[in-house]
Structure 1
């Protein structure tokens, strides 16, 4: 793949995507959306691994902890949620 060439497109959210973050090991991408969900994607295959639900409003931010075992999400529902992520 040449530099700047599109590798893949991940689809699955039903509304705007506000935030994405790579896990520290680079194997997983988290995405937060106006559809009130967080999706975890396998980078190698481009496949959806899981969908995290629990926010009652738009998810605006996602961030992995340095060890990759926790994901933080911030939402318009005025909460920050911490999610346990399996390796």
Structure 2
């Protein structure tokens, strides 16, 4: 899913990854492409970490915004159709 957002011609670099032997055996038995699975897993870890860091960095602004809405309501609430 996330790996597909990169260009097809993206430069690739070989790397070594150590995996538990039983995990590797199961993946091979199921004909799972280790490189593709690792790429997707790393891309998901990157996205998750970026999201967590963004939330941490913007925590004060989020709290401030929530406090404003609690105190004053939504700014354009009177125009909502639902």
Query: TM-score normalized by structure 2?
Result: 0.23
* Larger RCO (CA within 8 A; separation ≥ 6): 2
**Greater Rg by CA:** 2
Of Structure 1 and Structure 2, the greater helix share is in: 2
Of Structure 1 and Structure 2, the greater strand share is in: 1
Query: TM-score normalized by structure 1?
Result: 0.22
